[in-house]
Amino acid sequence: MSKKAKEVVEAAPKFKQPWQGFLSFATIIILAYVTYTWFLHPVWGIFTKMVVWNVFVASHTLGWIGILLSLNNPLFMVVYPLGYLVNWVSYFIFCIVWFVSIAFLARPFTPSTSRLRKQPLAGIIILALSMILAFITWYILGGVLKWQAYEMIVLGTAGFLIFPIWVTLFNYWPFVPKRPGTHALVRGAILVALSWFLAFLIRGFIAMRMWGNALPVTWTMYQTGNVLQPLTPTEPYDFWVSILLAVIVGATIISQLNLFPNMAQPKRGLVNFILAIIAGLILWGIITLILGNSSQSVMMADPAPWVFTFPYVNHGAVSAYLAFPLVTLLAGQLTFQMWPWAKYGNKAGLILVIVAFIVGSIVYWIIMVGPWGLAGAITGGNLITAMSGMRTEYLYYLAIPSDMLFYWPDMLWSEGFATFIGHALMFAWILTVLIFYLLAYEGFEHWPWK
């Protein structure tokens, strides 16, 4: 076989769409789930110690504080500022940000003949660099500067919004078209530095808005009786994260629609970014009205045990829903390469957006809303009570019928914890680990299926 014929054969895809997309997406799911199961699982994950004490013993020696410590509950950030769930979520958010930095902002526009650009080595290098730089960022902010994990999530989510827009909305402006020959590392360093500056600026604005008046923030996070107890523990953070995530989805939608193709940059990018913010806020408002209304029951300690229930807006539920259409949008654009909508030309983006929201909503309902308990079963959240002292705690209360009225809120808490943690883990896994691998697989250029 001649050299030219060999190049033609190697360039031909092994699988065409949609099979390449299905195989790629299956690979992404497997990698993301194996990572979760081996390292992040709440019971046996290598990097987790969610059940570190026996809850029964801890609760009868330290009360509720013992339960919190035994679960490393991330909702109680005063007790455990780098809790299990928010801990790895903040890390994988940084993984997403650094992958965009390396794979999209700091790579050459044209392929190289270097061995380092051959697959799968190129993908492995990009993946490794992304995860190493994310760990360094996470360690400096959390370990050295003592940021709480949710503060890092806000910063990382702001970065998730800002970093990709130089590709999706601004088309590498000002390097294209003015300086297309600029070295990739120089271009990437400038865009990354600018993106981090904007991400820290957004995080600073959010912190100023939250803590400018600390009283409502403290009230929505904690109330103090005999023990520390949550009202809506992460609500101030959930509020802003849900808005940022809605704008991320808005920016993804606008990038799909390819509006104003003849408008020059940076005007086009600025107009599209403003439209992305507007679209995201509208989407956020609609979903908040539909999914956000909830209620919170709190057991008050003084002057006697009683339950206080009040309505509030659950912005965590808004973020949980948005994760699903975001995945379907990115998968349709990247993994399936706009199949089968590419043949419709300018209408392809609009069709993809509509289909992505329909598919995402259906999957969301099946996993998070349906009666089958799939979120807990898939993530292992349903094992928390059965594989820890919480089951003993629950049975202990059942064995004291005379005190049933006093203990029933604790029993309900034990019953509901598995469902809560299952939904929280599923949402966190989809929004961080799965999206990271979905993006990171672009660094492998669909190897070995392409």
pLDDT tens digits, one per residue of 362-385 = 999 999 988 887 998 899 888 877
Under-50 pLDDT residues of the chain: 1, 5-10, 72-81, 224-228, 299-304, 404-405, 408
Cα–Cα distance between 116 and 430 in angstroms, integer? 30
Q: Tell me, what's the pLDDT at 81?
A: 46
> pTM of this prediction?
0.86
Q: Tell me, what's the pLDDT at 414?
A: 58
Contact 294, 318 (CB under 8 A): no
What burial letters (b/e) apply to 268-277, b meaning 16+ CB within 10 Å?
A: bbeebbebbb
Q: Tell me, what's the pLDDT at 290?
A: 85
What residues pair up with 222 in beta bridges, in sequence order? 230
Q: Tell me, what's the pLDDT at 445?
A: 87
- List the Cα angle 305/309/310 in 5-degree steps: 145
Contact 9, 1 (CB under 8 A): yes
Q: Tell me, what's the pLDDT at 371?
A: 81
- Written as six digits, the tokens of 406 are 């006093």
Measured CA distances, 216 to 171, 211, 219, 231, 237 (Å): 41, 9, 5, 12, 13
Q: What are phi and psi of 262, to 5 degrees?
A: -95, 0
How far is CA 206 from its chain centroid? 18
- pLDDT tens digits along 84-98: 777 889 999 999 999
How far is CA 249 from its chain centroid? 12
Cα–Cα distance between 246 and 326 in angstroms, integer? 9
Which helix or strand (DSSP H or E) is residue 231 part of? none
